[in-house]
A and B are shown apart, each in its own frame.
Chain A
Amino acid sequence: MASISSAEPSPSFVRRLSTFLHKHPALVLILLLAVPLLWLGVIYLGSLGALLLQSFFKLDDFTGLVVREFTLDTYRQLFTQANLDIIIRSAVMAATVTIACALLAFPISFYMARYASSTGKVAFYIAVTLPLWSSYLVRVYSWKLILAKEGVIGWIFQALGLEPLLNAILAVPTIGGPSLSVSMYGTFLAFVYVWLPYMIIPTYTALERVPRSMLEASADLGARPQQTFWRVILPLALPGVIAGSIFTFSLTLGDYIIPGVLGNSAFFIGQVVLVQQGTAGNIPLAAAFTVVPMVIMFIYLFIAGRLGAFEAL
């Protein structure tokens, strides 16, 4: 550095390479993004495309082979009464689970974001995500034990002398069953339990981003706490709740384990997909069924967007 002589040794390969890369930022971007983009583009979107393609084929009933010709017959099959029942049942369950999750998650998230101390936040965060650390199957089967006729819930009802109430609840047609673990109640409870963290975390994140001064400004302008909640807090948290609902809704629509383990053997979309592409070998119908949740999600997000749910983003 002291002398700038012409006899400077030629820079090393690494230095020349880094200079070259520094001068070509676009190349660096391509190199960095190539692998994730390939992953996203080919494996992720590609498989989705293959799925869509499959749904436009159909199964030959006689040979049991997939006919690779464009047809809407498979989609037509979705609209048979039995299949429609499954779709409606799944969608209603997903919507109910989503609403229950949102109602449970909001106060928890609100407390975490507004009132908990920093250590309290960490504790809450761990408590909320802790169930995700253990196996999903274990948790679902433990619900089966909890909800079984001889389980702890049944025992509580018995101890309180409320058995007639439990029996009345279980006697409701369609959603009832011999015990909580073989009824829609069990399916519902397990779904809410399993997906709740996916609702809490985005809701909490959205609430955490609302500055205190915004709530103070609302109060300063004359709004009572209740008005501040409806006019400021809820609209600002809504994108988070919607993000959470995408998880809870689509995860419920696609799940086949919970209704299999805890339910009154009424079919859900996830189970149909499993059966059709596995046992029945009807991949086109399975594909068509998986398109259903996607379409529902698109419609849902479209309506949410129209209603201004993302204006605070």
Chain B
Amino acid sequence: MPQNEMSNISNPLPAVRFENVSRHFDQVRAVDNVSLEIRDGEFFSMLGPSGSGKTTCLRLIAGFEQPTSGKIFLHGAEVGELPPYERDVNTVFQDYALFPHMTVAENVGYGLMIRQVPGAERNERVNQALELVRLPQMGQRKPSQLSGGQRQRIALARALVNRPRVLLLDEPLGALDLKLRQEMQIELKEIQKRVGITFVFVTHDQEEALTMSDRIAVFNAGRIEQIGTPSQVYEHPATAFVAGFVGTSNLVRSDIAQKLTGSAQTFSIRPEKIRMVEPGTPVQNGWASVEGTIREVVYLGMFTRYIVAVEGGRELTVVRQNLDETSMDVLNAEGKRVQLTWQRAFDRMLETP
């Protein structure tokens, strides 16, 4: 979309602000005292397992749900009980929710028609939006004649054509196959940069969140565990939940932690940070070291995952790129005695739950 002044103006007001927002369904606390700020023009992801409250948060922003308590602000104005049709946000639905009785062009132009944008301008903007999602020839088709990926793009065009200040995306890539999903991730990010609209993206896929987001909020059981950039969330997980949900982590608890660090505080270490060396290799300063036996080898093509049993009945997962090994080599490693070492700097102390 050509004219978009929003991206150039630095707006001190957050696009979305939650102030102690809760949403209860009978006894279930779907959203439990959540406070957050989404900056203007930011690609913000809400990441969490199903039932963690991320979609409810999105629906609270859209106006499909009303908070049980707390306040929600859009660009500084409290939206409270404002119905969806009076909010300057648009949503891309998980099931796309395209109107089956309308053509693609009618679907995309629906919001403009409702706002009584004159016909000529409406056509032009619909065409622009269809070009933006790279489906310029599809206007006269019916949604039923499109593939899943195409429907997804039309749903995106239908929302973007209205030039909302905030675009809400509810797991929009969930129904697509892996290849298409990865393509759409990059494309979505590019579109977001081009239009400069705040994107609020709900997903349960940590890789997706890491790929696209400026910042991520990790949800669990109706609460936010951590908000941060992808690297902050990945490299400095604040809680055991974040360490486990975003990527895989080895949680090193009490007894081994005591032995390695001298304190019983639980910490996490990423599998790719651990090196596997011959037992008895001298340990450098600032490195941790523990011996163990390879219990299981999972060959994943590009890399191999080793599960190593260490003293005290604990297991550590190690991931190693298959630089020099063949599949035969790695599979033969089962039962081998190894020494695991890693830089202590990569240990992440966790708030013990």
B51 at the interface (CB under 8 A from A): no
Assess the A223–B97 pair: CB atoms within 8 A.
no
* CB neighbors of A among B56-91 (8 A): 62-64, 83-85, 89-91
Give every chain A residue within 8 A of B84 (Cβ-Cβ): 216, 219-220
Which of the residues A213, A223, A232, A235 comes within 8 Å of B93, measured between beta carbons?
A213
Contact in complex: A216, B114 (CB < 8 Å): no
Cross-chain contact B162 with A236 (CB below 8 angstroms): no
A238 → chain B closest CB, angstroms = 8
With both beta carbons as reference points, the residue of chain A lying nearest to B100 in the complex is identified as A312
Q: Which residue of A lies closest to B90 (CB)?
A: A220
Partner of A218, one of B63, B110, B162: B110
Q: Which of A190-235 contact B (CB under 8 A)?
A: 211, 213-214, 216-224, 227, 231-232, 235
Question: Most B CB atoms within 10 A — which of A216, A218, A220?
Answer: A220
Docked-complex contact B90 and A216, CB < 8 angstroms: no
Q: Which residues of B contact A231 (CB under 8 A)?
A: 110, 114
B17 at the interface (CB under 8 A from A): no
211-264 of chain B: CB within 8 A of chain A = none
Residues of B within 8 A of A224 (CB): 85
**Chain B contacts with A in 134-153, Cβ cutoff 8 A:** none
> When chains A and B are docked, how far (Å) is the Cα of A302 from the Cα of B90?
39
Interface-centre pick from A216, A221, A308 (highest chain B CB count, 10 A): A221
Contact assessment for B101 and A235 in the assembled complex, using a CB-CB cutoff below 8 Å: yes
A150 CB-CB contact with B under 8 Å: no
Are the C-beta atoms of A216 and B64 separated by less than 8 Å?
Answer: yes
Cα–Cα distance between A103 and B164 once the two chains are bound (Å) = 38
Q: Does any Cβ of A come within 8 Å of B111's Cβ?
A: yes
Using C-beta atoms within 8 Å of the partner chain, give the interface range for chain B: 20 to 34
Does A311 reach chain B (CB closer than 8 Å)?
yes
B93 cross-chain contacts in A, Cβ below 8 A: 213, 216-217
Distance (Å) between the CB of A210 and the closest chain B CB?
9
Q: Which of B152-206 contact A (CB under 8 A)?
A: 158-159, 162
Q: Does B291 count as interface, using CB distance less than 8 angstroms?
A: no
Known: A220-B62, A222-B111. A213 touches B101 (CB 8 A): no
Q: How far is the CA of A220 from the CA of B84 in the complex (A)?
A: 5
Closest partner residue, chain A, to B83 (CB atom): A219
Interface string of A241-280 (1 = CB under 8 A from B): 0000000000000000000000000000000000000000
A232 to B101 CA separation, bound complex (whole angstroms): 8
Q: Write out the residue numbers on chain B whose beta carbons fall within 8 Å of the beta carbon of A236.
A: 99-101
Which one, B64, B90, B94, contacts A221 given CB within 8 A? Answer: B90
Q: Which of B63, B111, B114, B159 has the most CB of A within 10 A?
A: B114
Q: Which residues of A are at the interface with B, using a C-beta cutoff of 8 A?
A: 211, 213-214, 216-224, 227, 231-232, 235-236, 308, 311-312
- 18 extra interface residue pairs, beta carbon distance < 8 Å, beyond A211-B97, A236-B99: A213-B94, A213-B95, A216-B64, A216-B91, A217-B97, A217-B158, A219-B84, A220-B62, A220-B64, A220-B91, A221-B85, A221-B110, A221-B111, A221-B162, A222-B111, A222-B162, A223-B114, A311-B101
Cβ contacts A to B, 21 pairs, < 8 Å: A216-B64, A216-B84, A216-B93, A217-B91, A217-B93, A217-B99, A218-B99, A218-B110, A219-B64, A219-B85, A220-B64, A220-B84, A220-B90, A221-B110, A221-B114, A221-B162, A222-B111, A231-B114, A232-B99, A312-B100, A312-B101
Q: Which 10 pairs across A and B sit closest by C-beta, in order of nearness? A: A221-B111, A217-B97, A213-B97, A312-B101, A219-B84, A222-B114, A311-B101, A235-B101, A220-B91, A223-B114
Q: Which residues of B contact A (CB under 8 A)?
A: 62-64, 83-85, 89-91, 93-95, 97-101, 110-111, 114-115, 158-159, 162
